[in-house]
Amino acid sequence: MVESETAELKLLETAEALFDEKGVQAVGMDAIRNGSGVSLKRLYQLYPSKDHLVWAVLKRRDEAMRAAIAAHGDTHATNPYQRVLAVFDYLGTWFADPGFRGCAFINTFGEMGGISPDVAEIARGHKQALRDYFAEQTDAMNAPPGLADQLALLANGAMAVAGINGTSEPAAQAKDAARVLLDAHVD
């Protein structure tokens, strides 16, 4: 059991790193096998197709990102207003990572969303979860429901621009815009 979990973790970590670096379509199963050290037979036992592996990588990242954003908000904020702004601080730290190449969900959707319903579904679910997190915070502030959508657009736009420009500055810019929106809707 432990050996199987170790092989699966190696595959997921290797695939995630390669997909981030080169894009999903440019990475073949042989590269993942070579990078992970897991046999091709074992790789296909765990993931019968590349689509299954892509989905598993995105699912793992989705869970990690949801938990990280919530934990960051809980650690660095004492109220809903601050938790909204803490999301943008979290994004700034993420964008500053030397390996940051944009949001995996935006990137993978751009590559495969039109041809893989599973990729489209998990990308949409991930983006909905971010919007829902903002909605939890804005609801607690009695702000209009549309504010959560606007905040999600700011965050996702910052992700796209930071990935393209290779800078963390969009997080601070989006945070400033979020503060303006919050101040306009919250007493």
- Domain positions in the chain: 1-48, 55-185
Q: Are 89 and 176 in contact (CB under 8 A)?
A: no
**CB 137, CB 149: distance < 8 Å:** no
Report the top-level CATH class of 55-185. mainly alpha
Give the Å distances, CA to CA, from 61 to 104, 151, 181: 8, 21, 29
Tell me, rounded to whole angstroms, the distance of Cα 24 from its chain centroid: 15
**Each residue of 86-127: pLDDT tens digit?**
999 999 999 999 989 999 999 999 999 888 999 999 999 999
In the chain, % of residues over pLDDT 70: 97
Helix ranges, the chain (H): 2-22, 29-36, 40-46, 50-76, 80-96, 104-112, 117-140, 146-165, 169-185
CA distances from 170 to 21, 123, 154, 175 (A): 21, 21, 9, 8
Q: Do domains 1-48 and 55-185 have the same CATH topology?
A: no
Question: Does the structure show a pLDDT above 60 at 1?
Answer: no
Give the domain 1-48 fold. Answer: Arc Repressor Mutant, subunit A (1.10.10)
Record the pTM: 0.92
Q: pLDDT value at position 145?
A: 87
How many CA atoms, within 13 angstroms, populate the side-chain half-sphere of residue 149?
A: 3
**What integer best gives the mean pLDDT of the chain?**
94
Cα R_g (the chain), whole angstroms: 18
